Amino acid sequence: MRVDEPPHLLSDLRTVKLPTVAAHWERLALEAQRKRQPHADYLSELMGLEVAKRRENRIRRLTQEARFPVLKTLDAFDFEAQKAVDRDAVLELARGDFVREQHNVVLVGGVGTGKTHLAIALGLACCQHELRVRFTTAAEMTNQLVEAKAEGKLSRKLEHFARYDLVLLDELGYVPFDREGANLLFGFVTRVYERRSLVVTTNLPFARWSEVFLDATAAAAVIDRVVHHATILKTDGESYRLRDARQGRRKRKEVDPT
């Protein structure tokens, strides 16, 4: 059995940009002949491949554009080791509705307790729902805003960040801001308030945010905006890395008690 290539097919497919159809039409046509598949089913199967491939490409592009420092997934998160965080609540967030509703997530807890892991995993899940996501740290974002302001490009920079459906702001509280930095970050939060979503990770309880924002009024205003429509997830316990290292040692001892 064979199929002849229609004379204009490939150039037409190029013109209308259907590369996956171009790559698979012949194989599926042969299969359709063999199976005596109805034409409509052949067409539908072929278009299904094109649509699936485009979606895959779009998700890959969104994942790259998110600039995650490493890729972390919810599958790789050990909820048994982090009992303070409700697994179902996280899985619910991973459906992406909080982003569609312009809600926020705040992850609060000590060092090494999985905050960044969860933030990245939620961001990745949102990429898979074809949402525009951007990972950054509070320090990096603030530096960028300060630089942009110095170059007279602040509004362009704010616009850039406001284009994303979800901004992941990691490590708020690790580095205190100067007054200008604090004001600029406050300006960003105000700008995206109720229009975009934020996932903020922080080692500081809200009561101590004034240490980052230098003054209690600015801190209160940021907390007010971020926490209004937010899911707060508290992580606790000791650092997962330390625990991991110690358990590794213990396991090795069990195997070899000498």
Which part of the chain contacts ligand ADP (CB under 6 A), choosing from 11-19, 114-122, 214-222, 225-233?
A: 114-122
Near ligand ADP by CB under 6 A: residue from 58, 241, 249, 252 = 241
Q: Which residues is 231 bridged to in the sheet?
A: 105
- Residue 240 interacts with ligand ADP (CB under 6 A)? yes
- Residue 117 interacts with ligand ADP (CB under 6 A)? yes
> In whole angstroms, how large is the CA radius of gyration of the chain?
24
Shortest-Cβ-distance residue relative to ligand ADP: 114
* Identity of the residue, 174 or 186, whose beta carbon is nearer to ligand ADP in the bound complex: 174
Residue window 77-96: x/- pattern of binding to ligand ADP, with contact defined by CB under 6 A: xx--xx--------------
Selection from Mg ion, ligand ADP, none that 157 binds (CB < 5 to 8 A by kind) is none
Selection from Mg ion, ligand ADP, none that 240 binds (CB < 5 to 8 A by kind) is ligand ADP
Phi then psi for 131, rounded to 5 degrees?
-100, 150
- Residue 116 interacts with Mg ion (CB under 5 A)? yes
Interface size with ligand ADP, residues (CB under 6 A): 17
Which part of the chain contacts ligand ADP (CB under 6 A), choosing from 7-15, 61-69, 110-118, 206-214?
A: 110-118
Concatenate the DSSP letters of all residues of 82-98 into one string.
-TTS-HHHHHHHTTSHH
* Identity of the residue, 23 or 89, whose beta carbon is nearer to ligand ADP in the bound complex: 89
Phi then psi for 234, rounded to 5 degrees?
-100, 125
- Residue 202 interacts with Mg ion (CB under 5 A)? no
E strands in 9-86: none
Residue window 188-227: x/- pattern of binding to ligand ADP, with contact defined by CB under 6 A: -------------x--------------------------
Return the residue matching tokens 């619910």: 92
Q: Which residues is 224 bridged to in the sheet?
A: none
- Chain centroid to Cα 208, Å, comes to 27
E strands in the chain: 104-108, 133-137, 166-172, 197-202, 230-234
Tell me whether strands 166-172 and 104-108 are parallel, antiparallel or unpaired: unpaired
Shortest-Cβ-distance residue relative to Mg ion: 116
| DSSP 3-state of 222 | helix
For residues 133 and 59, give the distance between their C-alpha atoms in angstroms, rounded to a whole number.
11
Residues at the site binding ligand ADP, with contacts judged by CB under 6 A: 72, 76-78, 81-82, 109, 111-117, 201, 240-241
